[in-house]
A and B are shown apart, each in its own frame.
Chain A
Amino acid sequence: MPGQTKRLIDSILERRSKGNPTLFFATKTKLILKGVNPDKYTAESPDDPAMIAKVRAIAAELGVPV
C-alpha cells in the first residue's frame, strides 16, 4: 500500500508538535536536516523499504513510537 512514508512522517510531526505551529516548523526543519523532506512525500508515494526504515530510525531518535 503506497503512502506509508508520508503516514510515518505525519505521525512524527503530529506527535512532536502537539498542535503547536512553532513546534511543527521546528520538527519539520529537524526532519529536513536529518535528510527527509516531508514535502517530497504524498499519500501516493510508492513505499521504498529503505526510506521507510530511515524514517522509522528517525522516529526512534525523536522518541516517537510508530
Chain B
Amino acid sequence: MPIQTAYSTKPLPDAVTELRSKLDPGAQVVLFFASAGYDAAALSRQMQDAFPDACVAGCSAAGEIAQCRMLTGSVAAMSLDSETVEDASAVVVENLRSGIDLRAAFEKFENHFQSAASTWDVAKYVGLVLIDGLSGAEERFLEKLGDTTDVFFVGGSAGDDLRFEATEVCAGGKASTDSAVLVLLRLRRDFTIVKTQSFRQFGKSLTATAVDEARRTVIEFDYRPAIEAYAEALGVLQDEAVSHFSRHPLGLMVEGEPFVRSPQKAHGGSIVFYCQIKQGMELEVLEATDIVADTRRAIEKEKAGPHPIAGLIDFQCILRTLQLRNENRCDQYGAIFAGIPNVGFSTYGEAYLGHLNQTSTMLLFR
C-alpha cells in the first residue's frame, strides 16, 4: 500500500480506530500530529497499540494538516510503507533544559541500523525531529544534532493550540515534555527537503552588537537600542515598530536564502525574538510576500522534477497559519498540495539545519 494519510476529529479511542482503518496496517512508520485537546500519553499508547509493528512517533500541534486541509481539534496521520522506508527507528532525548547529549540516541541508532553513523549515506538516510516547543532548547539541540551528523533532519517544534502551557512529543507509545523525538529513516525512495518562506529583502541590514542569547533577545543593533535601529531601518516611528514585526522579520542570509528570525515583542529598547541571534550576526530586514503564491511556486517546481511526489510532510510555522486563517486563505494553501498524500502540523518553530521562524520545512518522498 503506498503512502497513506488520514485524519480524525473523533475523541479517543475512536480517533485511533478511524485512523487505523484508513492507514496502512502493515506500515513501517506511522506519524501523527494532534491537537492539544487529546491526551498525548493515551494517544501515543493507543497509536502504538494500533500499529504494533511500526515505528510510531508524533507530537502535539497548534493546528493539523492532512489531505489538503488545515485542521483544528484533530489527529492527522501518515503511514509510510515498506516501498518507501526500508528501515526506521525513533529515539526520545529527554531533559533538554538540563543539557543536550545525543550520544545515547546515536548509539541506539547505530545499534538499530547495525552501522556506524559516519557511514550513513545522506542520500538514503533522512531524519525527522520533533521538539518540545516550549523548551526554548531548539537552537542548542539542533546545533548539537548538526555537529553530530551530516544526515539531514527536518521537522518542527510541537505546539499546543496556542495555549502555551505544555507541548508533548511522542514515540514508542509514550509522550513526554522537555524532550525531543528523532526518527531516522533509511529510504528506498529518493527524497527532497523544501524550505520555503515568503519574504524578500527590504534593502536594509542590521548587525546585532549586544545580545542576551539565552533569552533570545537583541539589546542593540548597530550599537543602538534594538527597537530604535529596527524602526529606523523600516522608516517608521519607534512606537509603531511592533506592528511591523510579522511583515518585517529579519533574515540570516545564506547564499541569498533567508533563515528567518522573527521578532516577538519589544522589551524596553530590546527586541525579543522567537529564536536566538548571536552577537555580531548581520541580518537583512525582510519584507513579506504572498505565502500561497510562494508555496505554490515551490511545490510546482518540485512537481516538475523527474519523479512524482509520493508523499509530503509539512512543518508549517504557526505564524504562517495564523496569517492564512486571518486572510481566510487556508483552503487556497491546502489546494497547493492537491494530488499529493500530505500531512503536517502548525509548529512553534521549524527545523532544518537550525531553528527557524515563519517558514515551512517539508520532507518530500519521491
Could you write out 10 A-B pairs with CB less than 8 Å apart? A16-B150, A20-B122, A23-B122, A30-B353, A32-B252, A32-B259, A33-B146, A33-B259, A33-B353, A63-B147
In Å, the complex CA distance between A22 and B150 comes to 10
B304 contacts the other chain (CB 8 A) = no
Residues of A within 8 A of B279 (CB): 35
* A29-B282 in contact (CB<8A): no
Measured CB to CB, the nearest residue on chain A to B280 is A35
Given A61-B147, A62-B147, A63-B147, the answer on whether A22 and B122 have CB atoms closer than 8 Å is: yes
B278 contacts the other chain (CB 8 A) = yes
Q: Given A33-B143, A63-B147, list of 11 further CB < 8 A pairs?
A: A23-B122, A23-B150, A25-B255, A26-B146, A28-B255, A30-B146, A30-B353, A32-B252, A32-B259, A33-B259, A62-B147
Give residues in B with beta carbon < 8 Å to A.
122, 143, 146-147, 150, 152, 252, 254-255, 259, 278-282, 353-354
* A26-B143 in contact (CB<8A): no
In Å, the complex CA distance between A29 and B193 comes to 15
Residues of A within 8 A of B150 (CB): 16, 23, 26
One digit per residue, 1 when the CB lies within 8 angstroms of any chain B CB and 0 when it does not, for chain A 15-52 equals 01000101101101110111101000000000000000
* B147-A32 in contact (CB<8A): no
Number of A-B contacts (CB under 8 A): 42
Residues of A within 8 A of B282 (CB): 37
Residue in A22, A32, A34, A63 whose Cβ sees the most chain B Cβ within 10 Å = A32
Our pick among A20, A28, A34, A35 for the contact of B254 (Cβ within 8 Å) is A28
In Å, the complex CA distance between A32 and B258 comes to 12
- Would you call the interface of chain B mostly helix, strand, loop, or mixed? loop
Measured CB to CB, the nearest residue on chain B to A33 is B354
In Å, the complex CA distance between A52 and B150 comes to 24
How large, as a class, is the contact surface on chain A? 10 to 19
In Å, the complex CA distance between A50 and B354 comes to 24
In Å, the complex CA distance between A20 and B151 comes to 13
In Å, the complex CA distance between A34 and B143 comes to 8
Residues of B within 8 A of A30 (CB): 143, 146-147, 353-354
Measured CB to CB, the nearest residue on chain A to B279 is A35
In Å, the complex CA distance between A23 and B280 comes to 25
Measured CB to CB, the nearest residue on chain B to A17 is B150
- Nearest Cβ distance between residue A65 and chain B, in whole angstroms? 14
In Å, the complex CA distance between A13 and B279 comes to 22
Residue in A16, A20, A23, A35 whose Cβ sees the most chain B Cβ within 10 Å = A35
Measured CB to CB, the nearest residue on chain A to B356 is A33
Residues of B within 8 A of A26 (CB): 146, 150, 152, 353
- Nearest Cβ distance between residue A27 and chain B, in whole angstroms? 8
Measured CB to CB, the nearest residue on chain A to B277 is A35
Residues of A within 8 A of B278 (CB): 34-35
* A29-B353 in contact (CB<8A): yes
Given A23-B150, A63-B147, the answer on whether A29 and B280 have CB atoms closer than 8 Å is: no
In Å, the complex CA distance between A44 and B252 comes to 25
Residues of A within 8 A of B147 (CB): 30, 61-63
